[in-house]
Amino acid sequence: MSDPAPAIAEALDALRRGEVIGLPTETVYGLAADASNADAVRRIFALKGRPADHPVIVHIADASALRRWARSVPAPAQALAAAFWPGPLTLILPRQSSVADVVTGGQDTVGLRCPSHPLALCLLREFGGGLAAPSANRFGHISPTSAEHVRAEFGDDVPLVLDGGDCEVGIESTIVAFTGSRPRILRPGRITRAEIEAVVGTVDAGVDSGSPRASGTLEAHYAPRTPMLLLARAALEVEARQQAALGKRVRVLALDALPANVQGLVLPARAADYAHGLYAAMRALDEGGGQLLLVERPPAGPGWLAVQDRLRRAAAGAEPGDDSP
Ligand code: TXA
Ligand code: MG
């Protein structure tokens, strides 16, 4: 890779001017701005078309910056940061009163994460402050896992995208909230419940009525525009044949091997590799001229939970199918 220093210097200048940049992280690309500049953060919302009451994650250089944003950091939160940062884990903590409302969506909490991507870390260390960054996609659409995806999503509206290559993890961070009596996983990710419980003991999972709002917890999210069905392999093969017989242009996302006579893509039957390739595959299939996207349901099991979650939301959020061929 070419020397990243000039690109980082340019990104720093842009951030200090209050501009929004495309930021590589190990999970997905973010749309980043100075978290202490409310106008800059508002611009992220405008670009994404995101409702104003949805909070954004503040990315920080290390756990020593936690107290600048969070007014209290319970011991289990500190332990998770020590265990998994830099890495794909976001902590939801009580906010400091100095944190801008636009960052927290007006809630009493703030989301904090230290990403492990070397370019993001280098930028954060030089920047010194926090970077507010949601995933760099229009609201409800598929998260980007390459600089090219960000450019396709925003074009000239986001002229500076730091190119950090393909994201290693490929799906968004695990979110753990410290707002109730026990830590609660609000969004599953690469770091699993078992890994978290090994550090802090039993946690809750899923969203309850007292949980903070999180767009990643909306039922319809991370969605392609093509109607999408999630099916077991045998049912998928039947559906693909029937739809093709009706004249529909079917595209398939399969595990390990494509069924005969269908167009589509294959992802590996190992959860981490599948997650790494998932969003790029969904984007490619969404743009591939198909009228119906059939996705083979991956195996059950704790390692697949985050992938299952994203696929379920994608199927819920895709355009409703129409019956005409
Ligand atoms: O991996 C990731 O987390 C990526 C990269 C760029 O860091 N970011 C990401 O951001 O996925 P976003 O905004 O697309 O999703 C973050 C989720 C949202 O569902 C948001 O509502 C939630 O985190 N969130 C952020 N701050 C929160 C808070 N104070 N309380 C509750 N949820 C919060
Ligand atoms: Mg997002």
Indicate whether 222 belongs to any domain: no
Q: Does 169 share its domain with 37?
A: yes
Residue 317 has pLDDT above 80, yes or no: no
**Residue 263: domain span:** 228-317
The residue contributing the CA closest to ligand 1 atom 13 is 134
Average pLDDT value for residue range 268-288: 96
Which numbered atom of ligand 1 lies nearest the CA of 30?
6
pLDDT in tens, 212-258: 555 555 556 678 899 999 999 999 999 999 999 999 999 999 998 99
Q: Does 130 share its domain with 28?
A: yes
Q: Does 195 share its domain with 111?
A: yes
Residue 105 has pLDDT above 50, yes or no: yes
Dist. CA 181 → ligand 2 center (Å): 27
**Token output for 24:** 């590589």
> Which one is predicted more confidently, 324 or 24?
24
Indicate whether 309 belongs to any domain: yes
Dist. CA 306 → ligand 2 center (Å): 14
- Residue 285 sits in a domain whose CATH number is 3.40.50.11030
Q: Does 271 share its domain with 197?
A: no
Which of 170, 205, 240 terminates a domain? The answer is: 205
pLDDT of residue 325: 32
Helices and strands of the chain, counted as H and E runs: 11, 13
**Ligand 1 pocket mutation, candidates 90, 141, 222, 310, criterion most atoms within 8 A of CB:** 90
Q: Is the CB of 215 under 6 A from ligand 1?
A: yes
**Token output for 280:** 């790029």
Indicate if the alpha-carbon torsion angle 92, 195, 277, 316 is positive or negative. negative
- Residue whose pair of structure tokens reads 């340019």 in the numeric block: 10
pLDDT in tens, 62-92: 999 999 999 999 999 999 999 999 999 999 9
pLDDT of residue 3: 82
Percent of the chain with pLDDT over 90: 86
Q: Does 238 share its domain with 146?
A: no
Indicate whether 220 belongs to any domain: no
Q: Of 73, 118, 103, which Cα lies nearest the Cα of 91? A: 73
- The DSSP element (H or E) to which 175 belongs, if any, is strand 174-177
Which of 205, 237, 252 terminates a domain? The answer is: 205
Indicate whether 81 belongs to any domain: yes
pLDDT in tens, 155-171: 999 999 999 999 999 99
Cα 18 → chain centroid: 23
The total number of structural domains in the chain stands at 2
Alpha carbons 105 and 125: distance in angstroms, whole number: 26
